Every structure is written in structure tokens, then in C-alpha cells.
Amino acid sequence: MTGSALFSPLTLRDVTLKNRIMVSPMWQYCAEKGYPTDWHLMNLGRLADGGAGLVFQEGTSIERRACGTVGDLGIWDDCFIEPLKRLVNLVCLNGGVPAIQLVHAGRKARQVPPYKGRGPLLDAAGVEDWDDWEMIAPSALPASPGFSEPRAMNAADIASTVEAWGASAQRADQAGYQVMELHGAHGYLIHQFLSSSSNRRSDGYGGDFYGRTRYIMEVVEEVRRFWPAGKPLLMRLSCFDGDGWKLEDTLRLVPMLAKAGVDLIDCSAGGISGSPLKGDRPLSYGYQVELAEAVKRETGVPTAAVGLIVHARHAEQIVQSGAADLVALGRELIYNPNWPVDAAQKLGVDPDFQVMQRRSSFWLDRRAKTVPGLTLSTYGEDESA
């Protein structure tokens, strides 16, 4: 499509995205013992068919104790590869690039899903492997008041989790994912090492900036050992967390990550305690875009912008201005999985509905040509009615 920055292609390593719209990883909390269900097929299929160029699967746990809730997806064993291939194949069939986010919850394990009220899961009833679902963290500091105290990781824990990141990356490649993101934000394990508020270690993995960034660098290096050179690697960061990690720290870290093989920074904020939406930032449209813009401007590394990006022209302006290379949508795609189709119409760059696969676009194109001047439902009421 011509005439639109949002609907221009983006190439990262050997992978080309058809547009700059990224489906953010969104937890579904409905896996069964780590395995995907029909819900995951439905959810990812509709998001891919809606026209997004990059379709991320929710955060997927690299080991059993990495799970945040009982419904988290897993990739800690080879037995997950074949079921995950079904998700990959469906996204590809519907025109999207399949992507996976890897995560370790650390001290944010054993939680109640948000739609059931959030908070710590204190009762082992119904969880057969409760003892295997151990809470670990850089330091023995609970995530929030009321949460259990995690066990401080020893050298063996650090080594085993680093190895788990790499092994999970290898499985993701075998399942067919084309893009990978590591979750280093929102108070999960990597972020717990980065922030001085959660990392009080006195060994080589704590203390100053280089000690606290040692874990993330080892993780990236291990992942790049197993993740093919032609496939992009993204990192989600809380560019600041309002407590022990500042934007200045992010700007020091990003060039190190890029040198180690990270291709794009997914720029968020907060989450070291409480919700990632809290902190000192007002919740207005695009309230975190300036973080992506600052990281890209100061480091030259491509970025994704997140945070209440809702309207087509706003998304277009973000990419056109160079503030970010991708716009990541989450809840707006829950509201309207066909947002990319709608955005292309509103920007006037897709008269034939080519952002969708032909089996769906045929009917929309036919209606548009049969009923010229039709007002689409997302434009508001037809004044002539």
C-alpha cells in the first residue's frame, strides 16, 4: 500500500512485516497445564485475519516455576512444540507473522488471574505440582504487600534459568515462530534483576548498573545461541519503573542489547510493584509514545510504541514522524480485532481491503463496489438514514 507509513512494510533481519501494526502479547489465562486450547486458536486466528502484520502470542513460560498463573502457556518442555505449531500455522494461514514472547514471572508467580481479582494465590488446592511452582527472585523481597516472600536465587538458579531461556528459544524456533520477544518489563524476573528496588544482591548480579544488567545480558547471549541469526529478537523494557530503574539506565542498556543481538525495543513502563499502568504518567492517548521516541532518538535502535494507541490517524502519525517503527495495540484489538482493516479504510489506503486475506476481503470489496458511499459502522451513524 502506498501513501501510508503505518501500512508500509518493515524488515527486521530476514523477516518482513506487511505493515507496522503489532499485536501486543496479551495473557489469556486459559492454558491447561501449560498447553494451548481452542481459545488460543480462535483468539490468535481472528487477530491475524484482522490484518496486523506482527501477531504476538501471550507471554509463554520458560520453566514451570516461571508461570504467573495456573492458566499460563508453557514452552519448558519439548512436548509443547507440536501444540504450539498449530498456533503458528493458523497465524501464517491468516496472513500474519507469528511471534512469541518468552517470560519468567520470578516473584510474580502464584497469582490469581486479573479477571478473578488479582493478588497472590495462597491455596494449593487444585494445583498438583504446587511445590514445583516455586517463587524465586534476585532477592527475598515480595512483589507486593500480601505476597509470599520468594527464595533468593543462588548461582545454580541463575545458571539454570539462563539455560531455560535458551532452550525455550530453541523450541520456539522448532515450532516455527518467526519473531521473538523477551519480557524484561513489568516486574517480571529480568526486570527484577534490573531494578535496584528488587535487586539487593551483593554478588556479581547486583549492586551497580553493570551488576544489575549482567543477568539480562547473559539471557540475550544465551537466546541468541539458539535463536537463528535471520530471525528478529525484541526486548520489552520498562523504560523507567518509578522506583529503582530510570530512563537514563535504559538508554545505557539499549546499545548493549543491540550489540548482543536485540533488534527492537518494545517500550513500556512501570510494574515493579502493582500495575504497569501506574506511576507518574497520566493515562492519555499514547501516554508512553515519548519513551519509544526517546530510546530511538538517543540510541538509534528501532522501537515499538505502546499505551492507549486507539485511533488510525494517531498511529499513522507515530510511525510517520519517526517516533517509533511499530505501534503495538492490545485492548483496542480486543474491542475490534479488525482494527487494521478499519484503520486502512480511514486512512484511505486500502480500497480493495487487501490488508485481509482474500477469502474475507472479497466480500467487503464486493459490498463497497455494489453500494458506493456506504457508511461503515465504525464511522458513526449514517446521516442519511
Q: List residues with catalytic annotation.
A: 188
The count of C-alpha atoms lying within 13 angstroms of the C-alpha of 133, restricted to the half-sphere facing its C-beta, is 24
Work out the burial of residue 21: count CB atoms within 10 Å of its CB; fewer than 13 is exposed, 13-18 middle, 19 or more buried: buried
For the chain, state the CA radius of gyration. 21
How big is the chain, counted in residues? 385
Residue 288's alpha-carbon distances to 6, 52, 75, in angstroms, are 18, 21, 30
DSSP letters spanning 248-309: HHHHHHHHHHHHHT--EEEEE---SSS-TT-SS----TTTTHHHHHHHHHHH---EEE-SS-
Residue 248's alpha-carbon distances to 99, 170, 244, 261, in angstroms, are 29, 33, 11, 21
- Give CA angle at 291 (298, 9), nearest 5°: 80
Torsion angles phi and psi, residue 137, rounded to 5:
-165, 165
Query: What is the Cα–Cα distance from 256 to 242, expressed in whole angstroms?
Result: 22
Q: Are 53 and 85 in contact (CB under 8 A)?
A: no
Q: Which cell numbers in the block locate residue 12?
A: 527486521
Query: What is the Cα–Cα distance from 123 to 125, expressed in whole angstroms?
Result: 5
Q: Provide the CA 123 distance to its chain's centre, in angstroms.
A: 29
Query: What is the Cα–Cα distance from 343 to 175, expressed in whole angstroms?
Result: 31
Query: What is the Cα–Cα distance from 140 to 246, expressed in whole angstroms?
Result: 22
